[in-house]
Structure 1
Amino acid sequence: MTLTLPTRTTHVLLDLDGTLTDSAPGIVASLRTGFADAGFAVPADDVLRTFVGPPLGASMAGVGLTGADAAAAIAAYRRDFEARGMFDNSVFPGIPEALTELRQAGLTLLVATAKPEHYARQIVEHFGLDTYLTGGLDGVYGANPEAFTEVEGKEVVVERALAGAVALGADATQVVMVGDREHDVHAAAHHGVPTVGVAWGYGGPGELEAAGAAAIARTPGELRKLLTS
C-alpha cells in the first residue's frame, strides 16, 4: 500500500547517503579494500554500489556473507572507511539551497540514516549540514554500529527519529521521510510515515515506485516544492 503525503508537512526525516551526499566513491573504495583485507572475493563495482544506503548486514547477506564472515568483512571495511573513505564524499548540488528554503518555510529537519550514528554525525558536521538540522548534531539519528540486520539498520532508526520529531512537537501524521532506496520507503511505512523518493540517489530504475514511495522528486528543487506545497 502506498501512503499519501500529508496535506501539510511539518517535520522531515532525511536519509544521508544518496539523498544529501554522494558518498558512493568513498564507500565503494573502502568496500573493495575491506573484502580483500578480510580474504573474500571482491564483488564488482556495480554490486558494491548497491551497498550504499541499506544496512551493511543486509547487503553482506546479499553477496553470501553472514555471521562471522559478514562481521569480519564489515570490520575491515570500517577500518578503511575511517582512515580514508568517510570524507571521499560530497553534498549533492542544490541540496544546501533546498534545505535552506525548507527551513525558511518553517519545516523541522532531522537525519535518519542506516549509517552508524557516530559516522553520520562526523559526516554531517564535516559538510556543515548540521546547520540546517533542528538541534544540530542532536538531530542526526543513525544505526547502532553493531546492528547488522535490516530491522535494526533502518526501521529502528526511523522509530527513534520519529520519536525525536514528536518530542519537538510533531503530529506524527505530518512527518515525511525522504530517501533514495526502497529500504527507506519500507522502514518509514512500517511506522505509517510516507516517503518522498529522490531520483538522484542510488536506487535502481523503478525501485522507489515499486516500494510505494508517495512521490518522486527529480531535483532538490522539486523536493522543496513537494514538501511545501
Structure 2
Amino acid sequence: MMKKTIVLFDLDGTLIDSTPAILASFRFACGEQGFALPQDKVITQFIGHTLEDMFLGIGVQKERLWDFIESYRKFYRANMEQGTKLLKQAREAIDLAFNFAHLGVVTTKRADFSTKLLESFGVLHYFSVVIGIENVRNPKPSSEPILKALDSLYESKGQIPKQDCFMIGDTELDLQAAMNAGINGIGVLCGYGSEQSLQRFCMPIHHNTYLAVQALKSHLKA
C-alpha cells in the first residue's frame, strides 16, 4: 500500500516515560556541581524543554550552564535505558501508525540518545527519521525540527501535502511547533502537559497516543 500520510511523534511523554532517568541525571548533575537539588515536581514541569531551559528554570546561572549539562549527559548516557520505559500502548500506537503512515520522531532530547532508546525497545525500524536537539539551531516550538523531519521524509518517500502531515505530542511546545510548521497537531494526555495548556491550540486531544493514532486512522478513512 502506498502511504500518503506522515505522522511525527514527540518522544518523552508521548512514546516513552524517562522521568526516573531524567530525575536521576538532575540529581547527579546538581550533586557534582554543588547545587541545591530542587523538588522533583519543579524539574518535571520543565520536561519537554531543552536542557538549557530546564537548568535555567531551576535557577542555575547562565555562565555555569554547560558544566551542568555535561554532568547531566555523562550520567544520562550511562543510565538512560534502565530509567526509561515505553508508555502503555505506545508499541501498539507505533505499529498501528506504521500501517498507514511514514513515521518520524521530533524531540528536544539528543537524537543519538533517542535512537539508542528506540533501538533498545525494538521499535527503531518503524521510524524513517529521528530529529533531536543536536540537529537543529532552533528547537520546538520553532518549526525548524518538524520542517527538517519533513524534508528528510520528502527526500526518501516523496512529497506529501502538509494537510496530510501530523505531529502527536504531549506539550504545548509540540502543538505550537506543529502550528508554526503548518501541519496538524494532535495532543495527548499521557505525558507532561495539562489538558488546559493543550486546549489553547484548539486541536484534537486524546487520553494516550494509541487512542490518538486510532482516531487519526478513522479520520483518514472518513
TM bracket (short chain):
0.7 to 0.9
How far is 1:177 from its partner? 0.5
CA distance in 1, matches of 2:147, 2:213: 24
How far is 1:199 from its partner? 0.6
Deviates more, 1:199-208 or 1:175-184: 199-208
Question: Does 2:181 correspond to 1:187?
Answer: no
Give, as a single letter, the amino acid of the residue that structure 2 aligns with 1:152: P
Q: How many residues were matched structurally?
A: 213
CA distance in 2, matches of 1:225, 1:40: 45
What secondary structure sits across from 1:225 in the alignment? helix
Which stretches of structure 1, 4 residues or longer, exceed 4 Å deviation after superposition?
none
CA distance in 1, matches of 2:30, 2:145: 26
Partner residue, 1:4: none
Q: Normalization by structure 1: what TM-score?
A: 0.85
Q: Which has the higher contact order (CA 8 A, sep 6+)?
A: 1
> Structure 2 matches for 1:100-119, cutoff 5 A?
100-104=95-99, 106-119=100-113
Deviations 1:151-203 (A, max 9, x none): 33553322211212332222222111111111111222211122111111111
Give, as a single letter, the amino acid of the residue that structure 2 aligns with 1:207: S
Partner residue, 1:5: none
Partner residue, 1:55: 50
Partner residue, 1:124: 118
Q: Which runs of 5+ in 1 are unaligned?
A: 1-7
Deviations 1:3-40 (A, max 9, x none): xxxxx971011011110001111111111111121122
Give me the identity figure in percent.
29
Aligned-residue CA RMSD (Å)? 2.1
Q: Normalization by structure 2: what TM-score?
A: 0.87
Question: Does 2:219 correspond to 1:224?
Answer: no
How far is 1:86 from its partner? 4.2
Q: Which runs of 5+ in 2 are unaligned?
A: none
Give, as a single letter, the amino acid of the residue that structure 2 aligns with 1:224: V
CA distance in 2, matches of 1:56, 1:30: 11
Question: Does 2:146 correspond to 1:158?
Answer: yes
Deviations 1:57-102 (A, max 9, x none): 1222222335332211111111111121344110012111122122
